[in-house]
Amino acid sequence: EQIKKGNYEHFMQKEIHEQPHSLTTTMRGRLRDKSVILGGLKVHLKTIRHSRRVIFIGCGTSYNAALAARPFLEELSGIPVTMEIASDLLDRQGPIYREDTAVFVSQSGETADTLLALEYALKNGALCVGITNTVGSTLARKTHCGVHINAGCEIGVASTKAYTSQIVVMTMMALAIGDDKISTQARREATIDSLYNLPNVVREVLQRDGEMKDLAKSLIDEESLLVFGRGYNYATALEGALKVKEVALMHSEGMLAGEMKHGPLALVDESLPIIVIATNDSCFSKQQSVIQQLRARKGRLIVMCSEGDASLVCHSGSCRVIEVPQVADCLQPVVNIIPLQLLAYHLTVLRGYNVDQPRNLAKSVTTL
């Protein structure tokens, strides 16, 4: 086991730091100049373009990855994209039709709820697409078509490198589906350029390890942590909070910043730490006003912003800032989750908990 961990103390730590490499293998052979080639979807692209709805279905981190990719798929395809947590879809027996494309996202390809939802969608006649890290898994075998994320084996129970590779695969899927539209060509090409550079940017962000360890030290005794995000980074808020709760065993909630006034604001005081994700995209000015409102209530803020924007989000040192490099807006969730993965990792080690096998959790939940 020690050999497999290399120079790292834990698998989660290794898998976080492996991401420049895992993202490279995810994209390998799939980017050609200014276009994306996904062999597993090729013959089905026309059917997907003509579907009346795309439904993303998954659990846990895989669901969050789909949520991160949703806005870009909506934008490039023009097709309504809805989100389903597998168990909830089954509880409701929600309507699924022949004209739907159901995209199942699962690292293991063996999650019981996701597989049951797949049976259900197949029965209802939808085109079923699988996005998984596991070649030969039940999900890979039972879907009509799909894309392997090729992130390499993930051992830590808390998913890290699979999350970022899932987002990249679903972004590439959006690019392939939208490939027939001239009107978005410039947008697609800019995104593909950003994809080529993404592993380098992730490598740069991983240098912030020490900074995130310091932040973890300042949060070690907290009982609770809120994370606010919106737009592309609503998913980052959910996933960052999920990491903290599942490994550091600290209560943590990811929240949609647009909902702040409708309840969460009541929690804000001088002691509760709040992370606000405010990197530069079309939601930036709205996030600036969220920060102002939180500061007016003396909130204890940690703001994640784009490099060079510290003075725009935090005046006179009133909050702690995490600066990250800016990439294409739809890929920013891949960059923004890295500091939060590092934070969750260090918090866990400092609090003395089991990083790779958090209590009560399993890597793959294969029973209902």
Interaction site with ligand G6P (CB under 6 A): 59-62, 106-108, 111, 114, 157-159, 361, 363-365
Q: By C-beta, is 101 or 134 nearer to ligand G6P?
A: 134
Toward ligand G6P, which CB reaches closer, 63 or 232?
63
Q: How far is the CB of 360 from ligand G6P (least distance, A)?
A: 10
- The single-letter code of the amino acid at 173 is M
| CA 209 to chain centroid | 19
What are 265's two structure tokens? 């604001």
CB 132 within 8 A of CB 85: no
- Provide the minimum distance between the beta carbon of 39 and ligand G6P in the complex, in angstroms, as a whole number: 22
Cβ-based nearer residue to ligand G6P, 212 or 242:
242
**Minimum distance from residue 156 beta carbon to ligand G6P (Å):** 9
Least distance to ligand G6P, CB of residue 147, Å: 14
Q: Which residue is nearest to ligand G6P (CB)?
A: 60
DSSP output for 54-113: EEEEE-HHHHHHHHHHHHHHHHHH-S-EEEEEHHHHHHHT----TTEEEEEEESSS--HH
The residue among 322 and 355 lying less far from ligand G6P, judged by its C-beta, is 355
Count how many residues are written for the chain: 368
DSSP 352: T
Neighbours of 124 (CB within 10 A): 16
Structure tokens given for 16: 């976080």
Q: Give me the residue label for tokens 């001088």.
A: 270
- Smallest gap from residue 245 Cβ to ligand G6P (A): 11
Our CB check for ligand G6P shows the closer of 66 and 335 to be 66
CB of 339 to ligand G6P, least distance (A): 19
- Comparison of 157 and 338: residue with beta carbon closer to ligand G6P: 157
Measured distance CA(130)–CA(321) in Å, rounded = 38
